[in-house]
Amino acid sequence: MRLQVKSVLVALVTILSCACIAPSVSDTTAAPTTSPPPTTALVTSGSPSASAPPAAYRVLPVPGSAASSPDGRWFVAQGQRDGSPLQLFTIDGIPVREFDAGRFWAWLPDSSGLFVALEVPQRAPPLAILELNGRVTKTDLQLSGQMLSRDGQLIVAQHQEGCCVAIIQRELRVARRDGSGTRTLVTSTVTSETTPVTLLGIDSADRAVYRDGTNIMRIPLAGGSPARLATSPDYARLPNGSTSPDGNAILTMPVRGGGWHIIANDRVAPWDDTLGVIVDDLSPFPFKYGFAPVWVGPHSFLVRDPDSGSLSTFDAITATRTKQGAQLAPADMVLAVQRETVLVVRGGFVVLLDLRTGAVRDIGIDLRPSSEAAHGAALPTSGFVVSSPAGTFRID
């Protein structure tokens, strides 16, 4: 199910000088910067501590496969039949209204509405914004790698021409949140590729970070001259990236295999595999492109030891790894992190891991047989929500 979802999304949008990080481990001496650090074994004291008492949860009167808003106030769900309306609920499951707004959608990062496609042509569809009051704001942009500026006033998206197997993607375009003022932000001069431009992220200074051929570039959303951050043949297959909550780091990984790259501190660096495996955020919502890490702080993400499953956090700005007490089983799926608590699907059941101590709390929610399609999110105050075809739940 998860592979089918990702394949559809990738097909719809047709996504298609490194400086090595000198990492350190918080409880060990920093590794020399002149050569790659040796593999650091994460020492554990065996399996995690005994399970704590079950946490309280509620079954919500919300259809399965619902997606919560980033601010934790709303759910949106849609039926599986073609033409099914979108349904808006409060986070407690109270129905608010229905929308007739197409099949492809994603929450805006500021939770003020939804990115939607009103039609599905043979390339990326026209982008509209569905306001929570039901009003539709049309734009001249496309639903392709769309992102919102840090102040919520501008939308940036990739632009495609042609159709089917002859799609060309050489531009980034920007428009105001109300759909007006569309302009071309970037036009690639690369002619050897049909899709040389991909939008990787919007940084903390409201600059678009993007790939242009084999270059990683950056340009202010207000306009101006682009700056080159790095050049490498390895960048030619990079898709859209994942931006840290504070906008100071971007992670990206090629769709067809290859290692992660970290864009931070005005440079691009390949991930050092001796530090472990970056934990994938496998939740199918919101509308995602490629891969994403599990962000656990302003610019830190989760890393696991490939042998023991022990977890660490890695700070992308300081290149510091901090060992934690929790462990992941090989087939665990991480859905969200709330402070020091990790929401995990383990063997089809929902459990909570204490990141610091490793304690496991059984929730009692059984998502089988469709647990791989689960979506989870941390609520801003406390607790989590989980939704899969099996139902929608709130963990308090």
DSSP string, 243-300: E-TTSSEEEE--TTS---EEEETTEEEE--GGG-EEPB-----S---S--B-B-SSSE
Question: Residues with Cβ < 8 Å from 72, sequence gap 6 or more?
Answer: 91, 377, 378, 379, 380, 381, 385
Over residues 51-56, the mean pLDDT reads: 61
Predicted pLDDT at 258: 74
CA-to-CA dists, residue 330 to 13, 257, 276, 333, angstroms:
31, 20, 14, 9
Predicted confidence band at 256 (pLDDT cuts at 50, 70, 90)?
A: low
Residue 40 pLDDT > 50, yes or no?
Answer: no
Nearest CA among 196, 222, 177, 217 for reference residue 17: 217
- In the predicted structure, residue 47 carries a pLDDT above the cut 70: no
Q: Kindly tell me if the per-residue pLDDT of 53 is higher than 70.
A: no
Q: Are 213 and 188 in contact (CB under 8 A)?
A: yes
Comparing 245 with 35, the larger pLDDT belongs to: 245
Rg (CA), the chain: 21
Res 383: pLDDT: 93
Q: How many Å apart are CA 139 and CA 151, to the nearest integer? A: 18
The backbone torsions φ and ψ at residue 303, rounded to the nearest 5 degrees and listed phi first, read -135, 140
For the cut 90, the answer to whether the pLDDT of residue 325 exceeds it is yes
DSSP output for 38-78: PP------SSPPPPBPPPPEEE-SS-SS-EE-TTSSEEEEE
Across 154-168, 249-263, 273-287, the highest mean pLDDT is recorded for: 154-168
286 or 159, which is more confident? 159
Mean pLDDT of 115-119: 89
Local confidence band at 298 (pLDDT 50, 70, 90 cut-offs):
very high
- % pLDDT > 70, the chain: 82
Report the alpha-carbon distance of residue 10 to residue 208 in Å, rounded: 21
Tell me the average pLDDT of the chain: 85
Q: Which residues of 282-321 are buried (b: 16+ CB within 10 A; e: fewer)?
A: bbbbbbbbbbbbbbbeebbbbbbbeeebbbbbbbbeebbb
CA distance 130 to 138: 9
- Domain span at 323: 2-395
* 78 confidence band (pLDDT: 50, 70, 90): confident
Q: What angle do CA 165, 171, 173 make, to 5 degrees?
A: 125
- Looking from the CA of 273 toward its CB, the CA atoms found within 13 Å total 4
Q: Which two tokens stand for residue 153?
A: 């006033």
Q: What's the domain count of the chain?
A: 1
Identify the residue with better confidence: 22 or 303: 303
Residue 149: name the closest of 210, 220, 198 by CA: 220
Select the highest-mean-pLDDT range: 4-18, 253-267, 279-293, 382-396: 382-396
| 28, pLDDT greater than 70 | no
Tokens 């383990």 belong to which residue?
A: 346
Give 52's pLDDT tier (boundaries 50, 70, 90).
low
Residue 56's pLDDT is 87
Name the band, by pLDDT with cuts 50, 70 and 90, for residue 115. Answer: very high
Checking if the pLDDT of 287 tops 80, the result is no
Structure tokens at 72: 């934790």
Average pLDDT value for residue range 338-361: 96
CATH number of the domain encompassing residue 325: 2.130.10.10
Q: What is the mean pLDDT of residues 193-198?
A: 94
Query: Looking at the predicted structure, is the pLDDT value of residue 289 above 60?
Result: no
Residue for token digits 């079950």?
A: 54
What's the sign of the alpha-carbon dihedral 9, 288, 121, 75?
A: positive
Q: For a pLDDT cut of 90, what percent of the chain falls above it? A: 69
Q: Residues 195, 168: contact at Cβ < 8 Å?
A: yes
Q: What are phi and psi of 164, to 5 degrees?
A: 55, -120
Alpha-carbon distance values, 347 to 5, 6, 303, 330 (Å): 21, 22, 20, 10
Neighbours of 197 (CB within 10 A): 22
Which of these, 384, 393, 365, lies nearest to 61 by C-alpha position? 393
Q: Is the confidence at residue 138, as pLDDT, over 50?
A: yes
- Give the residue-averaged pLDDT of 275-300: 82
* Per-residue confidence band for 281, with pLDDT thresholds at 50, 70 and 90: confident
pLDDT band at 101 (very low <50, low <70, confident <90, very high): confident
- What pLDDT was estimated at residue 102? 66
Asked if residue 117 has pLDDT above 50, the reply is yes
Q: Is the confidence at residue 300, as pLDDT, over 50?
A: yes
Residue 186 has pLDDT above 70, yes or no: yes
Looking at residue 54, its pLDDT comes to 56
CA distance 328 to 349: 14
| pLDDT tier for residue 43 given thresholds of 50, 70 and 90 | very low
pLDDT higher than 70, residue 209:
yes
18 vs 232: CA distance, rounded Å: 7
Residue with tokens 């914004």: 129
